[in-house]
Structure 1
Amino acid sequence: MSAHPSSLPPAGAPGAARRPAAAVALPFWMGELALIRLPLLLFAFTLVLGSLLVVLSTWYLNSQSDAMIRAQQARNIAFDQFNHVENEKLEIRDYQPQFIALRDKGLLGEERRLEWVDAIRQIQERRKLLPISYEIDAQQAFKLEGQAALGAYRLRGSRMDLHMDLLHEMDLFDFLHDLRQRSYYTIQDCSIKRGAGAPNAAVAPSLAADCTLYWLTLGSAAPGSER
């Protein structure tokens, strides 16, 4: 026998019983997070620490690379300086004999006018030349036509007007050759003409030479001197 609908209690009546809400099911792995929470924290800490170590390692590598580059540059500079010193030592060893020869012949330093005069006298006596007359002017700056690297030295010249009576041309050539062995000079001009010998002279010159020479010296440049 079926129940009449009127016999059922109305909806919302105080006596009506409520059905419980259905519970939401969580994924199965959410329940296991508590079990792996510590390993996850350790993994995160290790990841952060590893990243930090990578950054620090990269910075340290770059700083060491820069330091190595600076050390290499300093080494190259020191090596170049060492080579420069060694080259200077070799040049000094190679050019020292020439320097000594130039100094001994009077090119370097102050002019040696008395030595020039004495050299002329000795050559005249040894070669048995006729009397020689000359005049030496004051020393002046000597300019070359071309450029020459003289460093801290300046080239100077003392002009000498020379007159010689000659028996033959070789007297002049021998005199100039011997004079060059004793000192440094350059000839500006030189002329030879026939001489008029004195009729009563024991040895009459057949030629006469007039030359203009410049005695050369290399001296230190004075402060403020013209370059």
Structure 2
Amino acid sequence: MSALPSGMPPAAPAAGKKTARTVALPLWMNELALIRLALLCFATALSVGSLLVLVSSWYLNQRGAALARTQQLRNVAYDKFAHVENEKLEIRDYQPQFLALRERGLIGEEKRLEWIDAIRQIQERRKLLPISYEIDAQQPFRLEAQAAMGDYSLRGSRMDLHMDLLHEMDLFDFLHELKQRNYYTMQDCSIKRSATAANGALASTLSADCTLYWLTLATAAPAPAARSRP
């Protein structure tokens, strides 16, 4: 090729061809490659740290819930322990009274034969006139006021009692002594005058008709007893 003469302008590019242009990148883009490793480490550390915070928060919540359940179980166990201790103190305080009530026939199954035997003994010892009675089957006995009885239920056996009397004190002494041996409640009692014997023999001047209920405390409903007569 021959050199262009000096002072001549360069020839224009051929039509239809474009010249390539290069765009200069910002300086910070060139420097980004230098801190890329640090940025990756920072992003990794941030992700791991966030994950650890979430895990720690979840673990703390789990431990808090477990602590609350443990405290609740402890409170329940303490309440049970305190209840048992109170029951032990009540048993120690009331056991003598309980044994005395059971000995007198209030607690447990009714002792109908003992009632009949007590009537016979009092009649013979006080030399009372003949006594007649009928005892019905045992039934639930309701009080006017509600009373806490626990596992026990109050039951009563109705007895219709007839006595011939020489004087009123025969009835009062009989009922008083009968109450010392067993538990009963009087529903009603009436006394009326009767005719004396014409031949002068010992005879009643009064007669009494009473209705009372023998009482027992039982844990289960016993089978009804047959109606008893002397």
Which of the five TM-score ranges fits, normalised by the shorter chain?
A: 0.7 to 0.9
Work out the CA distance in 2 between the residues paired with 1:216 and 1:23: 115
- Show the counterpart of 1:121: 120
Q: What SS does the corresponding residue of 1:72 show, helix, strand or coil?
A: helix
> What's the offset of the Cα at 1:215?
2.2
Work out the CA distance in 2 between the residues paired with 1:33 and 1:91: 84
Work out the CA distance in 2 between the residues paired with 1:124 and 1:57: 88
Which of the numbers 117, 129, 132 marks the counterpart of 2:130?
A: 132
> What's the offset of the Cα at 1:172?
1.7
- Show the counterpart of 1:155: 155
Provide the aligned length of Structure 1 versus Structure 2: 210
Structure 1 residue ranges without an equivalent (≥5) = 1-6
Q: Is the 8 A contact 1:154 1:221 kept in 2?
A: no
Work out the CA distance in 1 between the residues paired with 2:92 and 2:217: 21
- Identity, % of aligned positions: 56
> What's the offset of the Cα at 1:159?
1.8
- Show the counterpart of 1:84: 83
Work out the CA distance in 2 between the residues paired with 1:46 and 1:142: 80
Q: What SS does the corresponding residue of 2:137 show, helix, strand or coil?
A: strand
1:26-80 deviation per Cα after TM superposition (whole angstroms, max 9, x unaligned): 32x4444344333333222221111111111111111111111222222222223
- Show the counterpart of 1:3: none
Q: Which moved more, 1:95-104 or 1:47-56?
A: 95-104
Work out the CA distance in 1 between the residues paired with 2:11 and 2:205: 168
Q: Is the 8 A contact 2:161 2:211 kept in 1?
A: yes
How has the CA–CA distance of structure 1 residues 11 and 166 changed in structure 2, closer, same or farther, with 3 Å as cutoff? farther
How has the CA–CA distance of structure 1 residues 205 and 120 changed in structure 2, closer, same or farther, with 3 Å as cutoff? same
Q: Which amino acid aligns with 1:117?
A: I
Work out the CA distance in 2 between the residues paired with 1:21 and 1:116: 129
- Show the counterpart of 2:187: 188
How has the CA–CA distance of structure 1 residues 109 and 13 changed in structure 2, closer, same or farther, with 3 Å as cutoff? closer
Q: Is the 8 A contact 1:162 1:213 kept in 2?
A: no
Q: Is the 8 A contact 1:119 1:182 kept in 2?
A: yes
Matches within 5 A, 1:9-158: 9=9, 11-12=11-12, 24=24, 26-27=26-27, 29-126=28-125, 128-144=126-142, 146=144, 151=151, 153=153, 155-158=155-158
**Structure with the larger RCO, 1 or 2 (CA within 8 Å, 6+ apart):** 2
Structure 2 residue ranges without an equivalent (≥5) = 1-6, 224-230
Work out the CA distance in 1 between the residues paired with 2:34 and 2:142: 100
Q: What SS does the corresponding residue of 2:155 show, helix, strand or coil?
A: strand
Q: What SS does the corresponding residue of 2:109 show, helix, strand or coil?
A: coil
How has the CA–CA distance of structure 1 residues 99 and 25 changed in structure 2, closer, same or farther, with 3 Å as cutoff? closer
